Chain A
């Protein structure tokens, strides 16, 4: 069964590149949202198998979106991976402590990216 993965990122180009990378490197179904609110909406609607969440976003940022996801029983159990350009280890530790499957760094290697996501989620099937 094809897994669905939701990408939430306010940067159009990054979203596009990430989606393409995942599509090329796996057989997951990839959907994207350009803000926290949109991501939350899609998560409820699509019930994706995992969510890749940007941290720095205008309006509702990554942690806020995560909190909202966790507040909703429908989305509470969806594994979430933060993908962030933040580099300070303190920031990353703080993010990891919020209860996500992984904190992945930007920029990422588009070829290795699907494998990193799969590994963080404990999935197989990465090409």
Chain B
């Protein structure tokens, strides 16, 4: 090496600046991380420590090498790799050590020295090792003074910086960052100062090379920047992590801190404290329990139970279960093994349930107090007392000895011991008792010293003691010597005389539990306040509750809350304050209203600014402050201001005032701090919840304002949100047992209103399953009760990433729509039905007069299918009534109001109609046309009738008037014959007039039903006979023979009216019969009817008159009636009568000439018949209509036979040949066959055989008749077939009929008629 030449380093200003910046950053990281490391404990600290050490170490090294690079030597420089790495290692390790030492930093010398030394070591060690790594054509010498100075700078500046960091640690927010940056600047300067001081201590000596620059340095600029950037990134990362972590931990730490203080109180309690969940599960013990029981904190309940004395275990568990079940205070005594010596010691376990604002139990607060000493003392005392009693009776001396012993024991007990007379009066008290009371209580009662509120419980327990044998514990307040009340716990046990069982004395062990009570109460109070405040609706409420609770708990007179203004510049007295009863604060509150203070002003401002409790024990010491003066004036001698801190910010300051400061207030202030810490944590939590809640409320209000029901569920179908309308639609939406129960819980049905919706039919489940749900209709509400019809749309809710969050359904109540829809449909249906089924023609005509619609009746009226009317001009078939086809005036639709028109049928017939119209809203016209042809016809008939009646009446009247007029004129006075004639004419016509009038009235009354038929049972033969008898004279006069024929026929009829009918018919028959003719009246049953027939041999009735003759005045020939003296109304009346009976009257022409008038009357079962046989009219059964088949090729003969048989009520079929006979028989069968032996196509016998052969029914009886005697073989054959033989020409028709009747009524008996 060339020596002797001093090399002068040149520094690059940019790189120097960079190195200084890195130093400051590294410092900032070191400070931040040191603070963070302090918040961690145990293993959790290590990663932070190592990470922090690495970051800071790298920062230092980075600063160093950039600093080195900033220096330029006129010679090439290289670095030794191992030493370089070593320098890094030194920086990291020493930094780690510094951070570790700095975590416990306080304003204490030891840790500060260690931390700053380590930091100094890190920096200096790195620097000088790094320098040592330099290799080049030079030699380095160090000026020792400067080296020492550089190290001192590192150590001192590091120490100062760490201290600064600690002082600033409480600060937070922007100010905190600024202060930390200041600290970092100091430390960074120290680093840089050390480095450059160290550099100034170096002398480089060597040979200068010609070119003094470029190659110098570890590397080029690039490397410098890489190092710088890596350092920056690492440091920034470390700082960022630290800041984020600090932020995140802030709230947690505060809450944890509050809980810690809360637990600390429990830990501070002298006895074992425990808490349990509402279900009885014990979830906390303070450390005293673990000390006593020797259990690990994670010991199970079963393990705990093993510690309880076996004799007490069951009872203690039972008692705890009972307390939990009934939520009543728990009180039990049992022995628990002490871990230290295995001894079972008596403990008193007590627990009370703590409830929230709603009264629901939140937790159990319990204590476990060692009462072994009390128990022992009691036992000894009791034993001695008994002994004493015995001894008294025996020997005084022994008694004295016993008393002495007993007193000795009692006075050595840790508790105050006393004995009492059965009355309760003290008769012995240990000196500790007397000292406590300040006087001797002998002869006095505990109640004399008791707080008035506890007198009652003392007396109650005294009475209990007289009755019970066990120990009784009484908690009461007793007045002490100095006048204050203290809490005592007295265990009393009665001693009984073994022989009498009476209480001899009470032995009491009493313990001062004032402190325990205070802690217990504070703990409970704290819990209650926290619970109550958590339930508060607003910050004001929370503050108000806190103030009241704290005042009542501490006994402080007055409290008020101060809140920072929104800009944070001042703090204001809020409206929230509380004064205990009887405290007059009118002046103070009046003066305080709206008062505001600056930070640091008065105790409020100070508490706010410093975020700590300010406690003024005597207001007089600060009497110059205006608030203090005011407080003093109101009688408050002392006060305290307690900040409420949430998320590191003072959100309120609570001020408490009291008349004067007492010793215990210091403890109360601590208690208040605990409470306000809880309050702060609560407010912090609530702020987040509130922000969320606001959002929710906004959403809820929005949802509630919708007219649709909204229901949202999560992906598994659990209800998440409902709005007001949904709750109305579905009723109680509280049920959340999941979709399987939704249909049941909310009464969801299909549209039938009865079938519950399945899970897969729920709109929300359908949409979750991927279906599109639009307008799904279903029914909500109990079946039977009023149900709502809902229409639902549903869709999925997905987040931005497409993940399923749930589904939402909007439901619209469409009940009314449905009802309207149904009503509309019903009304449309009704209208359509009405229109379709209307008896009137209904047409809808558009403005052009064309048919737009026509009902069936309209079509019928016109004579075409209704469809064919569509599009037709209405006036092409509807004409004004008076017009003819040619005129066809156009219908004025507007004028068509209840007018008469005519519809022209397709066949040209004009049908009169009455028309009414209605113009519809769309301009179309509805035409209702009623067919009035019936009415018109009726009108015509009526008119006609009136006309005819008047004509008929006038005819006899004309004769009467004329004859009487002539008589009255006297002109016939001289012509007596003519006069007589005129009188006859008058009389005859008067009779005729009377008959006419009677008949007219009759026909009207009968046809209109005005005359009731007087129905009764009557015999058909009686009726016929009476008519024939009555008409006999008339018939005789006419030379007509009357016959009756019939079988028994029982009728339910009006005998007189049927008689009238028959008379009428018989009269007519006689009238129209020529002389020597016969009129036959017959009656028989047919098809469940009675049938009467009146047959004549007159001229018959023209075919076109068969029906009209029954109309009034419609004789076949008008002259007939007059000829025969009739009125022309007889048949009309007769038909009316038959019709009134439910029967039918008609006329037929007989084939053989003459007319037959027939009428039927329905046969009725005669219920008056009694007996075992069915009450069916016998006649009906007997009169079964026999069916006769006449097989005869002579048409005329066949007709004659048939007519004759029909006259007897037989049904007769005629066949003219064998083939037809078979066909007929196959068609309707026959009871009797009347067969001509010689048929054109076959032998009659063969025909009979064929017919019978085909018939499985009873063989038809047969009559064979022949024109001539048959051959013997034929006779034989006829006999064999069981048929009768008749010979034509020898047998009259009547005889044939008689034989038929006989044949039917008798068994088959072949015989021959000759």
Q: Which residues of A does B touch, CB under 8 Å?
A: 10-11, 13-14, 16-18, 20-21, 24, 56-59, 85-88, 91, 106-111, 113
Within 8 A of A (CB), among B300-350: none
- Report Cα–Cα, A88/B945, bound state, in Å: 12
The number of chain B residues with a CB under 8 A from chain A is: 30
Max chain A C-beta neighbours (<10 A), residue from B943, B965, B1120, B1122: B965
A86 and B971 form a contact (CB under 8 A) = no
Task: Using CB atoms, name the residue of chain B closest to A20.
Answer: B966
B962 and A56 form a contact (CB under 8 A) = no
Q: Given A13, A24, A88, A108, which contacts B971 in the complex, CB threshold below 8 Å?
A: A24
A13 and B988 form a contact (CB under 8 A) = yes
B954 and A21 form a contact (CB under 8 A) = no
Measured between C-beta atoms, what is the minimum distance from A26 to chain B in Å?
A: 12
Return chain A residues, CB-CB under 8 Å to B957: 106-107
B1117 and A87 form a contact (CB under 8 A) = no
Q: Could you list 11 examples of A-B contacts with CB < 8 Å?
A: A11-B955, A11-B1122, A21-B962, A21-B965, A56-B1118, A85-B958, A87-B950, A107-B961, A108-B958, A110-B963, A111-B965
User: DSSP class of B's interface residues: helix, strand, loop or mixed?
Assistant: helix
Return chain B residues, CB-CB under 8 Å to A56: 951, 1118
Measured between C-beta atoms, what is the minimum distance from B373 to chain A in Å?
A: 142
Return chain B residues, CB-CB under 8 Å to A111: 965-966, 969
Return chain A residues, CB-CB under 8 Å to B965: 21, 109-111
A18 and B962 form a contact (CB under 8 A) = yes
Q: Is B989 an interface residue (CB 8 A)?
A: yes
Within 8 A of A (CB), among B1108-1156: 1117-1120, 1122
Task: Evaluate whether A87 and B954 lie within 8 angstroms (CB atoms) in the complex, with A24-B971, A109-B961, A109-B965 already known.
Answer: yes
A14 and B955 form a contact (CB under 8 A) = yes
Q: Is B417 an interface residue (CB 8 A)?
A: no
Q: Is B981 an interface residue (CB 8 A)?
A: yes
- A-contact 0/1 string along B726-755, CB 8 Å cutoff: 000000000000000000000000000000
Q: Is B215 an interface residue (CB 8 A)?
A: no
Return chain B residues, CB-CB under 8 Å to A109: 961, 965
Task: Using CB atoms, name the residue of chain A closest to B962.
Answer: A17
Measured between C-beta atoms, what is the minimum distance from B1114 to chain A in Å?
A: 12
A85 and B950 form a contact (CB under 8 A) = yes
Task: Using CB atoms, name the residue of chain A closest to B1118.
Answer: A58
Measured between C-beta atoms, what is the minimum distance from B1127 to chain A in Å?
A: 14
- Report Cα–Cα, A124/B445, bound state, in Å: 165
B958 and A91 form a contact (CB under 8 A) = no
A87 and B966 form a contact (CB under 8 A) = no
Measured between C-beta atoms, what is the minimum distance from B942 to chain A in Å?
A: 13
Task: Evaluate whether A17 and B982 lie within 8 angstroms (CB atoms) in the complex, with A11-B955, A108-B958, A110-B966 already known.
Answer: yes
A21 and B966 form a contact (CB under 8 A) = yes
Q: Which residues of B does A touch, CB under 8 Å?
A: 943, 947, 950-951, 954-963, 965-966, 969, 971-972, 978, 981-982, 985, 988-989, 1117-1120, 1122
Task: Using CB atoms, name the residue of chain B closest to A110.
Answer: B965
Task: Using CB atoms, name the residue of chain B closest to A25.
Answer: B971
Q: Given B947, B956, B988, B1118, which contacts A86 in the complex, CB threshold below 8 Å?
A: B947
Return chain A residues, CB-CB under 8 Å to B989: 13
Task: Evaluate whether A11 and B951 lie within 8 angstroms (CB atoms) in the complex, with A20-B966, A58-B1117, A111-B969 already known.
Answer: no
Measured between C-beta atoms, what is the minimum distance from A54 to chain B in Å?
A: 10
Return chain B residues, CB-CB under 8 Å to A110: 961-963, 965-966, 969
- Report Cα–Cα, A16/B951, bound state, in Å: 19
Q: Which 5 A-B pairs have the closest CB atoms?
A: A17-B962, A85-B954, A107-B961, A58-B1119, A13-B959
Return chain A residues, CB-CB under 8 Å to B947: 86-88, 91
Measured between C-beta atoms, what is the minimum distance from B163 to chain A in Å?
A: 142
B954 and A106 form a contact (CB under 8 A) = yes
Task: Using CB atoms, name the residue of chain B closest to A34.
Answer: B1119
Return chain B residues, CB-CB under 8 Å to A58: 1117-1120
Return chain B residues, CB-CB under 8 Å to A107: 954, 957-962
B958 and A10 form a contact (CB under 8 A) = no
Measured between C-beta atoms, what is the minimum distance from A111 to chain B in Å?
A: 5
Return chain A residues, CB-CB under 8 Å to B971: 24
Task: Using CB atoms, name the residue of chain A closest to B1115.
Answer: A58
Return chain B residues, CB-CB under 8 Å to A108: 958, 961-962
Task: Evaluate whether A106 and B950 lie within 8 angstroms (CB atoms) in the complex, with A17-B966, A111-B969 already known.
Answer: no
- Report Cα–Cα, A109/B971, bound state, in Å: 14
- Report Cα–Cα, A108/B1120, bound state, in Å: 25
Task: Evaluate whether A14 and B951 lie within 8 angstroms (CB atoms) in the complex, with A110-B965, A111-B965 already known.
Answer: no
Return chain B residues, CB-CB under 8 Å to A87: 947, 950-951, 954
Inter-chain pairs besides A16-B985, A20-B982, A110-B965, 10 sampled, C-beta below 8 Å: A10-B1118, A14-B962, A17-B959, A20-B966, A21-B966, A87-B947, A87-B951, A106-B954, A106-B958, A108-B962
A11 and B959 form a contact (CB under 8 A) = yes
Return chain A residues, CB-CB under 8 Å to B943: 88
Task: Using CB atoms, name the residue of chain A closest to B954.
Answer: A85
Task: Using CB atoms, name the residue of chain B closest to A105.
Answer: B954
Task: Using CB atoms, name the residue of chain A closest to B978.
Answer: A20
- Report Cα–Cα, A111/B971, bound state, in Å: 9
A24 and B958 form a contact (CB under 8 A) = no
A86 and B951 form a contact (CB under 8 A) = yes
Return chain B residues, CB-CB under 8 Å to A57: 1118-1119
Return chain B residues, CB-CB under 8 Å to A13: 956, 959, 963, 985, 988-989
Task: Evaluate whether A24 and B985 lie within 8 angstroms (CB atoms) in the complex, with A13-B959, A106-B954 already known.
Answer: no
Return chain B residues, CB-CB under 8 Å to A11: 955, 958-959, 1122
Max chain B C-beta neighbours (<10 A), residue from A14, A56, A59: A14
B954 and A24 form a contact (CB under 8 A) = no
Measured between C-beta atoms, what is the minimum distance from A55 to chain B in Å?
A: 9
Measured between C-beta atoms, what is the minimum distance from B975 to chain A in Å?
A: 9
Measured between C-beta atoms, what is the minimum distance from B989 to chain A in Å?
A: 6
- Report Cα–Cα, A106/B947, bound state, in Å: 13
- Report Cα–Cα, A70/B956, bound state, in Å: 30
Task: Evaluate whether A85 and B962 lie within 8 angstroms (CB atoms) in the complex, with A10-B1119, A24-B971 already known.
Answer: no
Return chain A residues, CB-CB under 8 Å to B966: 17, 20-21, 24, 110-111
Return chain A residues, CB-CB under 8 Å to B1122: 10-11
Measured between C-beta atoms, what is the minimum distance from A58 to chain B in Å?
A: 4
Measured between C-beta atoms, what is the minimum distance from A98 to chain B in Å?
A: 18
Measured between C-beta atoms, what is the minimum distance from B1037 to chain A in Å?
A: 19
- Report Cα–Cα, A54/B1252, bound state, in Å: 68
Measured between C-beta atoms, what is the minimum distance from B18 to chain A in Å?
A: 138
A17 and B954 form a contact (CB under 8 A) = no
Measured between C-beta atoms, what is the minimum distance from A113 to chain B in Å?
A: 8
Task: Evaluate whether A106 and B955 lie within 8 angstroms (CB atoms) in the complex, with A18-B962, A57-B1118 already known.
Answer: yes
Max chain A C-beta neighbours (<10 A), residue from B958, B959, B1120: B958
- Report Cα–Cα, A14/B956, bound state, in Å: 8
- Report Cα–Cα, A12/B550, bound state, in Å: 140
Return chain A residues, CB-CB under 8 Å to B988: 13
Return chain A residues, CB-CB under 8 Å to B956: 13
Task: Using CB atoms, name the residue of chain A closest to B959.
Answer: A13
- Report Cα–Cα, A86/B969, bound state, in Å: 26
Measured between C-beta atoms, what is the minimum distance from A71 to chain B in Å?
A: 24
Return chain A residues, CB-CB under 8 Å to B985: 13, 16-17
A14 and B958 form a contact (CB under 8 A) = yes
Return chain B residues, CB-CB under 8 Å to A88: 943, 947
Return chain B residues, CB-CB under 8 Å to A86: 947, 951
- Report Cα–Cα, A63/B1119, bound state, in Å: 17
Task: Using CB atoms, name the residue of chain A closest to B966.
Answer: A110
Measured between C-beta atoms, what is the minimum distance from A33 to chain B in Å?
A: 14
Measured between C-beta atoms, what is the minimum distance from A5 to chain B in Å?
A: 16
Return chain B residues, CB-CB under 8 Å to A21: 962, 965-966
Measured between C-beta atoms, what is the minimum distance from B951 to chain A in Å?
A: 4
- Report Cα–Cα, A17/B965, bound state, in Å: 10
Max chain B C-beta neighbours (<10 A), residue from A13, A58, A91: A13
- Report Cα–Cα, A16/B963, bound state, in Å: 9
Q: Given A18, A20, A24, A85, which contacts B951 in the complex, CB threshold below 8 Å?
A: A85
Return chain A residues, CB-CB under 8 Å to B960: 107
Measured between C-beta atoms, what is the minimum distance from A57 to chain B in Å?
A: 7
